[in-house]
Amino acid sequence: MKDKEIGILLGGVSAEREISLKTGDAMFEALKARGYRVRKLFVDADIDLVLRQSQIDLAVIALHGTYGEDGCIQGLLETMGIPYTGSGVLASALAMDKLKSKELFRLYNVPTPPYYVLSRDQLDDLEHIHSSFGFPSFVKPRSGGSSVGAGPAHSLSELRQRCEDAGRFDPWILVERLIHGREVAVGLLDGHALGAIEIEPKGGFYDYKSKYQKGQSQYHFPARLSPTRYQGALNLAERAVHAVGATGATRVDLLVTADENEYVLEVNTLPGMTPTSLLPKIAAGAGYDFGDLCEAILTRATLHVGEGSSGALDERIERDSSVPARPA
């Protein structure tokens, strides 16, 4: 692949833009140091024009959140015939949509905390909707990541505030049963678990600050679980990834309780690659240094439609003189 022009897509227009820039910068430096021909492509509303003009052979997706992690950029790359890293359109969309992924978890007998969904327009009826659900609860936008707009609620007034916060980032709001347990993340490559790390946030809740500011969380690798429960967490993560159809490098977030239950919270199809991110920590424990991990992600770049063949698409593009074709 070292003769290929590789574009690293970073930035984006979501609330997670800052983290995407850090992920993209880190991956750019790692791949450049290994001799790859990489360039940064900053993603904005004109990304289609940027991609046409760049004439890249492969795209490394270093985006997070809406339009980058939800199948949108993946669909654009598919139609342009540019192989890309990470999961395909459908798996990206399903994993990003916390309601749909939970429905799939239930279908595949993957345990996940009880939940319900409401819209911003239903907040006036919140007391009635929530009445039988009880407290404590946990609120998050239906789509999104990095704990943006998410947090616990222990009373109706706190729940209302949390829902209003989440509603700023998505018109639909997910309310879960707050389950107390150890926060554990499993890193995977091609659906196979690399290991599990335990997160111990100093503030008690693994929020945005705990995730991205150094010193705000302690990490234990391998996770402090018995061998049987550790293997159980790995197996559960593999089942969750299979349920949504995710491929490439992924991360699954779980809760492991004292009464020997495990719950899957979500599948992340584009895990962060910042200095404090979990996937690089897990991969390091499995023997991958950061450059190895970036290279492993790169070499899995593919098209997910038509078994990776873009020949017919290129022929259609060539017939339209207004759209420059990608070089062979």
List, by residue number, the catalytic residues: 16, 146, 212, 251, 253, 266, 268, 272
CB 79 within 8 A of CB 46: no
Q: Reply yes or no: is the peptide bond before residue 275 cis, omega within 30 of 0.
A: no
The pair phi, psi for residue 72, each rounded to 5°, is -70, -55
- Rounded to 5 degrees, what are φ and ψ at 156? -65, -40
Q: Please identify which residue in the block is written with the tokens 């007998």.
A: 109
Nearest-5° Cα angle at 40, 36 to 209 = 110
Nearest-angstrom CA–CA distance, 15 and 168: 11
Please report, to the nearest 10 degrees, the dihedral formed by the alpha carbons of residues 310, 312, 315, 321 taken in order.
-80
State how far the Cα of 72 lies from the Cα of 157, in Å rounded to an integer: 36
Question: By the 8 A CB rule, do 49 and 41 touch?
Answer: no
For residue 66, give both structure tokens.
């809406």
Other Cβ atoms closer than 10 A to 265: 23
Q: Which residue has the tokens 């490439």?
A: 248
The span from the first CA to the last CA of the chain, in angstroms, equals 14
Are residues 13 and 45 in contact, defined by beta-carbon separation less than 8 angstroms? yes
Q: Which tokens sit at 74?
A: 């993946």
Q: What is the DSSP letter of 118?
A: E
Instruction: Calculate the alpha carbon distances from 61 to 68, 81, 154, 270 in Å.
Output: 8, 15, 38, 8
203 CB burial (10 A radius; 0-12, 13-18, 19+): exposed
